[in-house]
Amino acid sequence: MKKNKRNMSAANTEYVDAFSSINERPVDDISLEFFYKPHTITLLAVSIASVIYTAFVRDESSIQDNIWSGICCVIFFFLIVSVLTFPNGPFTRPHPAIWRIVFGMSVLYLLALLFLLFQSYSTVYEVMYWIDPNLRNFHIDMDKEYAVNCSDISIAKVWSHVDVFAWGHFFGWMFKALLFRHGGLLWAISIMWEITEIAFAHLLPNFLECWWDSIVLDVLICNGLGIWCGLKICQVLEMREYKWVSIRDISSTTGKIKRAILQFTPVQWSPVRWLDPTCTYMRFFALSQLVVFWQISELNTFFLKHIFEMPPSHPLVIARLCLVGVIVAPSVRQYYIYVTDPNCKRVGTQCWVYGAIMVTESMLCIKNGKELFGQAQVCNVIVWLIIQILVSIGCVYGVVLYHRYFEPTKDSNIASPKKNE
């Protein structure tokens, strides 16, 4: 009986350690104690003093400015509480406080989405017009035409499509490669996204593309080069030797500056292994699910922009993309450890919040886009969903076969998730 209790206690300890490594990872080596010691009283005093000064000296003649100031103050204090109470997440560089703020921003964004979910379409529009009155002068049908004269191919026409969005494709897929670090999965997501654009082109006009724009520019050049560059960066970071020295032990000024800059780089970079020849059915299903969820998350970006009629360059669109991009980094790491580490029985809180954000965004689009989705070709959507499921399962199974027959000498435990950054 005592032996069974000891075994249960050891198992619980391993579970707690595995979950802590992704949800509340401690800093292994603190070089400057000042930046990692709690300064709660000082922070409270400075925060209250700032609010008191701002509240009593600012001009209160404008109602809109007053509301904005109140909202900013609420966000300011919520992020301070985030720094004091929220978990670090799986990363500690450049500082755990930054990732607590990211978590706080994700919670605020989720709360804002939930609030909008219970408002009418006209109310949401009025809120957006209050934020930016210029949106009254923009309508989504004012956007440019797509897929025009596809048979007329010339170097000048192809070059005209290499715009800021092409660079966005490139850097976006390079960032995705740094997150996933698996060529097979990245190529599968890239190809499936083009299928997604074809399936929903009758709802979203900007999904209409010429064949050479979709296959050559998007998949092969922009996405392909982004994936290649991202994976090359991963290889360089994997081969690099990580030996960290305290900034106090460096004598030269140049060395101290270099060490301060390197604080914004990972502690170490280990290769990941999403799948191996011995993976379980649940791990197989979890990764197939991730591939489909990634498509839904990408679709939310375009449906939100289309339903609420915002130009692609609008600050709200760019701010959401930046916020989601920052949130995805710890979320993917937490999901990876949850999928690959048998001792981790719970998904990390940041990943949980991002899942809630993805679902709430989808519900917000469906609720406020009834007229748009009423025009949907059900057959296209059903075929798209079937293709997504089949391709994701086929891709994951193909990766398993590749690791089984083409990499038999590699250790399946090559990536230890507990020390990845």
From 329, 313, 301, 361, select the one nearest 112 (Cα to Cα).
361
CA distance 368 to 389: 27
CA distance 311 to 305: 7
State the Cα angle at 133 between 127 and 137, rounded to 5°.
115
Q: Exposed, middle or buried, 269 (CB in 10 Å: 0-12/13-18/19+)? A: buried
Residue 122 CB partners (closer than 8 Å, separation 6+): none
Residue 381 CB partners (closer than 8 Å, separation 6+): 199, 200
Please give the DSSP secondary-structure letter assigned to residue 308: T
CA distance 395 to 390: 8
- Please give the torsion angle defined by the CA atoms of residues 343, 290, 232 and 100, in that order, rounded to the nearest 10 degrees: -70
Q: For residue 417, what pLDDT is reported?
A: 44
Q: For residue 323, what pLDDT is reported?
A: 93
Q: Exposed, middle or buried, 79 (CB in 10 Å: 0-12/13-18/19+)? A: buried
Q: For residue 416, what pLDDT is reported?
A: 45
- Please give the torsion angle defined by the CA atoms of residues 230, 235, 239 and 241, in that order, rounded to the nearest 10 degrees: 20
The pair of structure tokens assigned to 60 is 């209160």
Q: For residue 413, what pLDDT is reported?
A: 45
CB 212 within 8 A of CB 153: yes
CA distance 92 to 191: 34
The pair of structure tokens assigned to 164 is 């800021």
HSE at residue 266, side-chain half, CA atoms within 13 A, is: 19
CB 328 within 8 A of CB 89: no
| CA distances (Å), origin 151, targets 146, 163, 206, 212 | 13, 20, 18, 9
Length of the chain (residues): 421
| CA distances (Å), origin 171, targets 10, 120, 226, 297 | 44, 36, 6, 18
Q: For residue 358, what pLDDT is reported?
A: 93
From 224, 419, 389, 381, select the one nearest 303 (Cα to Cα).
381
Q: For residue 192, what pLDDT is reported?
A: 85
| CA distances (Å), origin 106, targets 78, 278, 325, 346, 354 | 12, 35, 11, 19, 7
CB 111 within 8 A of CB 173: no
From 126, 120, 139, select the one nearest 310 (Cα to Cα).
139
CA distance 266 to 25: 14
Q: Exposed, middle or buried, 250 (CB in 10 Å: 0-12/13-18/19+)? A: middle
The pair of structure tokens assigned to 187 is 């190529």
Mean pLDDT in consecutive groups of 10 residues from the start of the chain, 421 residues: 48 58 68 64 84 83 85 90 86 84 94 93 88 84 62 68 77 89 84 85 80 78 90 84 70 75 74 70 79 87 89 88 91 87 84 93 90 80 83 76 64 45 54
Q: Exposed, middle or buried, 406 (CB in 10 Å: 0-12/13-18/19+)? A: exposed
From 183, 392, 391, 189, select the one nearest 287 (Cα to Cα).
392
Q: Exposed, middle or buried, 264 (CB in 10 Å: 0-12/13-18/19+)? A: exposed
Q: For residue 36, what pLDDT is reported?
A: 62
| CA distances (Å), origin 400, targets 3, 18, 79, 189, 342 | 38, 25, 42, 16, 18
